[in-house]
Amino acid sequence: MNTTNFYIPKNIYSAFLALTTPALSTYNFITKNASLITRELNGDKDAIGLIPSCELINNKNIFVSSKIAISFDGPLSNSYFYFKPNQKELSKIFLRGDVTLNEVLLSKILFTELYSTNPEFIIDTKQKLSDVDNYIIAGNENLDSRVFGKGMSLSDEIAELIDYPYVNFVVASYNQEKIEKLNKAMLNLDEIVEENLDKILKKIDLSNNIETFVRDNIDSVYFELTENEVDGLKELIKQLYYHGLIEDLFEISFV
């Protein structure tokens, strides 16, 4: 049986998706930095990838699953803000972890809308976190005990801004048939995750406090793309356009 390469980011929510995929032997899951996955799809037209939603602005011809995504609308998030205390102005934000276009572009929108400010975004090259800097951290670095529970959910802020769930990752491929086949195989994902939560968490092997936090808030993560999430994704693209971050609106090639 031919296997299909399925590129996923290195984060726990991608792991949830991979661990609930029926017929796992059909797919060869490969973890990559999220920002590099569209590059893999451009080189392997038959592959599938879980890509950051803002990558669609540079890959408008790619096919996107109308059934599967990773969306948030609460305290669980793939990215968090960490602000230093007692600051009078927000001039610099350091970016750490598995940073993508989503963190950069959507943070610009949030700071404009919420704080009427336009901070400088800097890739953090330091090994250790500083107590005197502001951060956006993406991916599993948020599970580090030094920062866990201290951040502000980017997903929650975006969801509140657009009044829809924040679609962080979409399933995409340049092969339409691959997406159609996956759509048919992966039905009722949210229900499957809920029913198999104990098994999934055991395989991911989180610390007790993080596992409890995930378990208590799992209802703020969605693996199915319903009409609500589709509208949220479209609204996200509109926000990028309204804030001058893209030149034109475009139709997403849903399958």
pLDDT of residue 114: 85
Q: Which two tokens stand for residue 93?
A: 């934000």
Length of the chain: 255
* Domain coordinates in residue numbering, the chain: 4-72+165-254, 79-162
Cα-trace Rg, the chain: 18
Q: Which two tokens stand for residue 208?
A: 């007790």
* Nearest CA-CA partner of 17 in 48, 54, 55, 62: 48
pLDDT tens digits, 172-229: 999 999 999 999 988 888 998 888 899 899 888 888 999 999 999 999 999 999 999 9
Rounded CA separation 151/236 (Å): 22
Rounded CA separation 70/102 (Å): 13
Per CATH, the architecture of 4-72+165-254 is what?
3-Layer(aba) Sandwich (3.40)
Q: Is the pTM of this model over 0.75?
A: yes
pLDDT tens digits, 124-162: 988 888 878 899 999 999 998 888 999 999 999 999 999
CB 64 within 8 A of CB 253: yes
